[in-house]
Amino acid sequence: MRILGIDLGRRRVGLALSDPSGVLATSLETLDGRDRDALVAQLRSRVRELGVEEVVVGLPRRTDGTLGPEALAAQNFADRLARVLGLPIHLEDERLTTVQAHRSMQEAGARGAERRKAVDRVAAVLILQTFLDRRQPRPEDPW
């Protein structure tokens, strides 16, 4: 089963895709997020092309866990995707994923424009991988 991860931004939207077994998230692409109607149309097309069965949208909670305007916008977008795609849409806490993405890009030596282009995809990978890891069965504690 393929699962699409989305890091929703005002200008850029990062996408990540799971492997068919739903274990590993990989970077997919960055889309322009300024025109939400065009974005939804692009996502509908990509979902069909890739055989996506579920979608995970990052929920940008504040550091204290509350929901601000960005989180409410993500919830509204997820609701819209659910209506348009007819697929299960999950919200995944994405606190600090962009910070982690910037840090890993910096450590990898990415600079300026290169980093800005990739950071949203890396954040989408972090969001999706967190979701996938939570869904994996935990081995029994041998002790």
pLDDT per 10-residue tile (average), the chain, 143 residues = 95 96 96 97 98 97 90 97 98 76 60 69 93 84 61
Q: Evaluate whether residue 100 is within a structural domain.
A: yes
Give the per-residue pLDDT at 74. 97
Q: Is residue 140 part of a domain?
A: no
Tokens of 37: 């109607």
For position 125, what pLDDT does the model report? 95
Please indicate, yes or no, if residue 81 is contained in any of the structural domains: yes
Residue 143, pLDDT score: 61
Number of domain units in the chain: 1
Supply the range of the domain harboring residue 89.
2-135
Question: What pLDDT is recorded for position 37?
Answer: 97
**If you search the block for the tokens 């931004």, which residue do you land on?**
9
Q: Is residue 143 part of a domain?
A: no
**12, 30 Cβ separation under 8 angstroms:** yes
Radius of gyration of the chain measured on its C-alpha atoms: 15
CATH at residue 103: 3.30.420.140
Q: Is residue 141 one of the residues assigned to a domain?
A: no
